[in-house]
Amino acid sequence: MPATAPTPYETKTLGAGVDAVAPDGTAARLLLSLAGGSMAHFELPAGAVSRGVEHRTVEEIWFVLGGRGAIWRSQNGVERIDALEPGTALTIPLGTAFQFRAEPGAPLAFVAITMPPWPGMDEALPASGPWTPTVPPDA
């Protein structure tokens, strides 16, 4: 039987297990990556508040899949809090501090595209957001 040539593309199904815990405290399930960016699924438990962070070298686009909550973003003296619900898309430009929370009742689930691809856990710096984090400090 002839060998099958490798394909230039990938397909992946979202797994049930958590691949990592993000620096903000969310459960991360890694999806796919290309030279220009990577994609992952994140989930913050119902009623939880993330840790505030700021990325060193990446920026992100998020799309909320489930749950409800709010996100705080701050950059160069401009800050705001926006509602999060299924269908919401948002950006986190380079140099933006951010923190988010999930309303009680359902986890906040979203997909994020990180550009360039996520380089590792040292990427995120701690930031002071408006809410007290509830995720475990070592999560």
Is 43 domain-assigned? yes
Burial class (CB in 10 A: 0-12, 13-18, 19+), 30: middle
Is 64 domain-assigned? yes
Burial class (CB in 10 A: 0-12, 13-18, 19+), 88: middle
CA distance readout (Å), 15 to 8, 34, 115: 22, 19, 22
Cβ partners under 8 Å of residue 23, min gap 6: 51, 53, 121, 123, 124
Average pLDDT of 14-30? 94
- Whether 1 has a pLDDT exceeding 80, the answer reads no
Full-model pTM: 0.92
Q: CATH no. for residue 63? A: 2.60.120.10
- Cβ–Cβ under 8 Å, residues 72 and 78: no
Is 130 domain-assigned? no
Is 9 domain-assigned? no
Q: How many domains does the chain have?
A: 1
pLDDT in tens, 55-85: 999 999 999 999 999 999 999 999 999 999 9
Is 46 domain-assigned? yes
108: containing domain: 20-81+89-118
Is 137 domain-assigned? no
Is 111 domain-assigned? yes
